[in-house]
Structure 1
Amino acid sequence: MRIELGTAPGDPARPNEDYAAAALPASGRGGALVLLDGVTPPQGDDGCLHSVAWFTARLGGALGELSVSRRDMALREVLSEAIRRTADTHRATCDLSHPRTPQATVVLVRWDDERVEHLVLSDSVLLVAEADGRVVPVLDDRLARLPRASLAMEALTDATLRNKEGGFFTAAADPEVAARAVAGTAARTEVTAVAALTDGAARWVEKFREGDWPDCLALLRKEGPQALVDRVRTLERADTDRVFLGLGKTHDDAAAIYAEL
């Protein structure tokens, strides 16, 4: 089995709010991948004493532990319990009802000898390489379907579209959001590899159009996740006229995981 990950902060002066990890049981049979993209709130009060990086580390750790220790739980149940556990660690000190309470996108993959399970919540990307050679992107596209004007307003105010009907969903403090995740299962024999990317790493496809998702997986297979992240950084620095980046931030936290099963 081959598992590699790569990551880089968008700003070296700020903590990396992405989280990427592999969880492997002591038995050596099966495993899990966890990828989170922490949502950076606008400046101002978010009702929480803790940073987004603090939140993603705790949620990510809970997801990894539950994925391998509670195989009786479906991945939506794993996510729900991980959110509850994380919320309980700061419920007494923070206002978890605040719309900007720390939150994150989620990609979760778990496998054993018989099956490969997956879950995606919000705009991080999962790529599944199938035995017949196809590469299938698993996407939660609710955020992409929202009007740009609505998203611009959402980014600047607390008139939030997140975690409500007609908007999009992230892992924050409400365990019920797990029911909104895109989830599925495949036979282990049908999957040869998986890759998870936060949107900072997915820019290689989504913003810079350097290739499609199969091309992206081929790059990950050949050169590894850190090479993808490094290529994105090179493209960002070269886009001085902001042809591809537009009004978006020059650099975003970026993380990718690649696993051959």
Structure 2
Amino acid sequence: MRTEVVSEPALADRPTEDFAAVGLPAHGQGGCLVVLDGVTPPRTETGCVHSVPWFTARLGGALTELTVSGRDMTLSGILARALRRTADAHAGTCDLSHSRTPQATVVLARWSPQTVEYLVLSDSALLVEGADGTVTAVLDDRLARLPRASLATDALIDATVRNKEGGFFTAAADPSVADRAVSGTLPRAGIRSLTALTDGAARWVEKFGEGDWTDCVGLVRKEGARSLVHRVRALEEADREERAYLRRSKTHDDATVVFAEL
């Protein structure tokens, strides 16, 4: 088995809000990957005394431990329990009902000799490469399908579409959001590799159009996960002034890639 984990902050002098991990249980019969993309808060009040990196570290650590050890639990059940555990860690000091309480996107995958299970919540991506080289993108595209008018300001997003019916969902403090994730199970025999990307790394496809998802997996397989991140950074710098591709997006974003060749 080959695994790679690369995570680079948007700015060298600021901590990343992403979390990434690969778990390989001692029994040697499978493994898991976990990727979180922390949601950068606005400058206004969030109701929480903790940072987004604090939240993603807590939630990511719980997800990694539970995904490896809780073989009898579903991935949605694991996400719900990890959210509850993380919420309990700061419920006494923070207003967890605040719309901007720390939150993150989630990609989980777990494999055994028989199956590959997956879960995706919000706009990170999981790319599943079949034995024949076909790549299927597992996406939660609810945010992408929203009218642009509903995303005009942070206040409008928080009031109308963030973690609301008809909008989009992220992992924050409510364990029931786990049931909103895109999830499923596939036969292990038909899968060659898994690649998880935060949207900062997925920009290579989604914003800059340098290739499709199959090209993206091929690049990571041939040149490595770090090469994908470096290519994204070069594209961001080239578009810094004209913003033909980035438009209103921030110039750099935290970028994380996890690759697992099964």
Query: TM-score, normalized by length of structure 2?
Result: 0.97
* Cα pair 2:150 2:160 within 8 Å, conserved: no
Residue in structure 2 matched with residue 105 of structure 1 by the alignment: 105
Residue in structure 2 matched with residue 41 of structure 1 by the alignment: 41
Distance 2:153 2:214 in 1: 34
| Paired AA for residue 59 in structure 1 | L
Question: Is 217-226 or 158-167 further displaced after alignment?
Answer: 158-167
Structure 2 counterparts to residues 68-217 of structure 1, below 5 A: 68-154=68-154, 158-217=158-217
Give, in angstroms, the shift of residue 195 of structure 1: 0.2
Distance 1:157 1:135 in 2: 32
Give, in angstroms, the shift of residue 149 of structure 1: 1.9
Residue in structure 1 matched with residue 260 of structure 2 by the alignment: 259
Give, in angstroms, the shift of residue 155 of structure 1: 5.9
Distance 1:152 1:88 in 2: 33
Distance 1:90 1:158 in 2: 21
Give, in angstroms, the shift of residue 248 of structure 1: 1.1
Residues 128 and 155 of structure 1, relative CA distance in 2, 3 Å threshold: farther
What whole-Å deviation, never above 9, does each CA across 1:17-50 have from its counterpart, x for those lacking one?
A: 0111101112222110000000011102100010
Distance 2:183 2:249 in 1: 29
Distance 1:252 1:85 in 2: 28
SS state of the match for residue 80, structure 1?
A: helix
Corresponding residue pairs, total: 261
* Cα pair 1:32 1:67 within 8 Å, conserved: yes
Distance 1:50 1:102 in 2: 8
Give, in angstroms, the shift of residue 156 of structure 1: 6.7
SS state of the match for residue 231, structure 2?
A: helix
Residues 78 and 235 of structure 1, relative CA distance in 2, 3 Å threshold: same
Residues 183 and 44 of structure 1, relative CA distance in 2, 3 Å threshold: same
What whole-Å deviation, never above 9, does each CA across 1:189-218 have from its counterpart, x for those lacking one?
A: 011100000000000000110000000000
Give, in angstroms, the shift of residue 187 of structure 1: 0.9
SS state of the match for residue 159, structure 1?
A: helix
Distance 2:99 2:132 in 1: 43
* Cα pair 1:201 1:256 within 8 Å, conserved: yes
The percentage of counterpart residues that share the same residue type is 67
Residue in structure 1 matched with residue 246 of structure 2 by the alignment: 245
SS state of the match for residue 227, structure 1?
A: helix
Distance 1:65 1:119 in 2: 16
| Paired AA for residue 206 in structure 2 | E
Query: TM-score, normalized by length of structure 1?
Result: 0.97
Distance 1:157 1:83 in 2: 22
* Cα pair 2:150 2:157 within 8 Å, conserved: no
| Paired AA for residue 225 in structure 1 | A
What whole-Å deviation, never above 9, does each CA across 1:51-97 have from its counterpart, x for those lacking one?
A: 00010011011111000101100100010001000101001110000
SS state of the match for residue 226, structure 1?
A: helix
What whole-Å deviation, never above 9, does each CA across 1:145-172 have from its counterpart, x for those lacking one?
A: 0111211223677425111101100000
Distance 2:74 2:155 in 1: 33
| Paired AA for residue 89 in structure 2 | T
- Return 5+ residue gaps in structure 2 as ranges: none
Give, in angstroms, the shift of residue 16 of structure 1: 0.3
Asked whether 1:5 is paired with 2:5, we answer yes
* Cα pair 2:193 2:261 within 8 Å, conserved: yes
* Cα pair 1:5 1:20 within 8 Å, conserved: yes
- Return 5+ residue gaps in structure 1 as ranges: none
